[in-house]
Structures are given as C-alpha cells and as structure tokens.
Amino acid sequence: MKALVAAGLIAVTPLTAMAEGSTSVLFGSVNVGVSWLDTGVPGQGSVTALDKNGGRIGFRGTEQLWGDLSVGWWFEGSFEPDTGGKPTAGFNRRSRVGLESKRYGSLYLGRDFSPTFYVLCYTDPWCLTYYGNTSQVAMRNIRVSNSIFWTSPTLSGFQVRATYGFGERTVSPPTITSSSAGDFLGASVTYRNGGLLLSTGINTLKDNFGGTNRDMAVGARYTTGGFSVMGGYFVRDDETNGAPGNSFDKTRATYLGAKYVRDVHTFSGVAMVVDQEGPASANGIGLLYQYRISKRTSLYGNIARMSNNEASNWPLANGWGCLGGLCGGGVAGADPSAVALGIVHQF
C-alpha cells in the first residue's frame, strides 16, 4: 500500500520538481483557422479550407551544474492542428543540448535556427508567420542540422550568434563533386538600446559542386510605447544554381513593417519589394489584426497579396506552407491573394 501511495505522489509531482536544480517545461502552440486562397493562375481557381499556420509542442529545461554554468536542452516538434498529423517525425523544429553561462554565453549541439533567421524574425512584425510575411521570398536555411551553435552574452547592447554545420556528405560523382558539400557557416550581430534594435547576419552553404550559396540580411526596429516600426534588406546569392557552370541572378528583397498594440488589440502590416537581376520583380503586402481574449489566446484576421510582373512567379504562403498545396507560384504573372480568420493558443 505504501508503495502505491509513493507511486501516486510521484505521478502527480510536477516535472519541474523531480530533481533539485533541474527544471523541465512542456510548451507549445496551436494556430488554426479558415482560409481562402486565390492562386491568381487562370483556370486554377481558388480554395477554401481549414488552414494551419503552425502547431508545435516540445520540452525544454535546464540543470544547474556549478557557478553560473548549467546544461540546457530544447526538443520541439511540429504537427498539423487541422488533421492531428505531423509533416515529419520527431523534433523537427529544434533539437539541441548544450551548456549555458551568463559569463560566456551558450554552446549547443544539434538542430536549431540559423543566425540570419533571427535578423528577419526581429524585424518582421510576425516573426515569419501569417500570409504576407517576408520569409516567402527571403529566407532559406531557417533551421540547420548537425551543427554547433554559439550565442554570446550581451555586452554593451551587442550579442553575437555563430553556427557551423557539418555537411556529412561524401564525394559521389556526378551528383556530389565537392568534399565540403552541405557545410554551413553563419553569423549575426544584434544591438539593442532601449527601443532600438539593429541586426545583421550572413549564412553560407556549400552546394554539391563546391559553390557557395549566401543569404545576407540587415534589419532594424524601433519601439516607442505601443508603436513599432521595422524594416530590412535581404539578398540571396547562389554561385552554381545546382550544377557546375550555372549562374543564378541575385534576389533582393526590401521590406517595411509596423505594429501598434492598444489594450487587447494589435494592428500590424508589412510591405515588400522583390527584385531579381533581370526582368523579374514583384511586390507584396500583408495585414493582420489580433484580438486577445485571454493571456494565451487570440483571434485574428489576416489578408495578403503578392503581385508579380510578367516574368516573376513568387508565391504567397504563411509560415507553415501553402493552403491546399496551392501557393500561386510557378506561373509567371500570377497574383495570389489570401484571407484568413483563425485562433491561436499558446501553452
């Protein structure tokens, strides 16, 4: 009987109290709504469906070692809240473990966000979610696997992030001709001073033929009271475009956003201009209204549009993907648009 009582006490004991100096937290979010997307492609029409803009669940925690040194871990996976399914197995969003110190920063091993992701997240009003966000034209290598991640402590407002990723590939002609294929190197610097934030970063990825694919970003944000204004500039530059001798024109994106918070209401928007060397260009706009009904739950309305010229085929997607598999991209001159009404809950 005593054993049963002890087992019952252990079962109801919070995970955060299981070990002295150790904390573990279960967390996540669910974002789902009804969305309508017009691909802008003649004959393809539109689709209305229960759309997902991200479902995630994970565990994170720390264990105190000595002094200010601790072990930290973060394992986070994704799922589709409209079906209950998951796009990939395991902790595909973040999977890392390492050491943390207030004096020396943090050093993690595993899978996590790349340095340039943070530049865009800090200066995009929605941190790369919802229809119309900047990631649809700007960001690749949002997450990096098989990598070492270092984040410095904040000194005089400055913080540095650096990442090195192992390609883990062997030379196998004709598809892989470089021993450095898949190797990743990235770094970013962020400065904070009151309501001002400045950030810049670069990601480099070696392709299968020894070429270097680069993502470079710079952004800024200023907040005063409930109002924030932000913007940035992004460049994608590929040396080989998938095969020796190929060239890929640079893609440049300039974006400007704003956010206003008043009580339980949040109004925000972002506009962007995309240009490739050559005739292709596009511009996009996204607007979002959020109404907070509790500390962790909000209702929202989202509208966005991407306008392509006759040589451009940029898609319109939210932070999760394309509604019904239709992004409106792939057809030059298509002008996709979207409207979404939904609910998001964080736990």
The answer to whether 81 touches 116, Cβ cutoff 8 Å, is no
Contact 240, 211 (CB under 8 A): yes
- At residue 119, φ and ψ (nearest 5 deg) are -60, -50
Q: What are the structural domains of the chain?
A: 24-346 (2.40.160.10)
Upstream peptide bond of 174 is cis (omega within 30 degrees of 0) = yes
Q: What is the DSSP letter of 246?
A: -
Residues belonging to the chain: 347
Does the pLDDT value for residue 6 go beyond 50? no
Q: Which two tokens stand for residue 91?
A: 């902790």
pLDDT digits (tens, 9 = 90+) for 82-140: 777 765 668 888 999 999 999 999 999 999 999 999 999 999 999 988 988 887 666 67
Q: What is the C-alpha separation between 50 and 210, in angstroms, rounded?
A: 43
CA dist 106 and 128 (Å) reads 24
- Per-residue pLDDT tens for 236-272? 887 765 554 444 558 889 999 999 999 999 999 999 9
DSSP annotation of 10 reads H
pTM equals 0.86
> What is the percent of the chain where pLDDT is above 90?
52
Residue 4 has pLDDT above 50, yes or no: no
Least trusted range by pLDDT, from 12-21, 65-74, 164-173: 12-21
Tell me the Ramachandran region of residue 168: left when phi exceeds 0, alpha when psi lies from -120 to 50, beta otherwise: left
**Reduced DSSP (H G I as helix, E B as strand, rest coil) percent helix, strand, coil of the chain, to 5:** 10, 55, 35
Segment 194-204, tens digit of pLDDT: 999 999 999 99
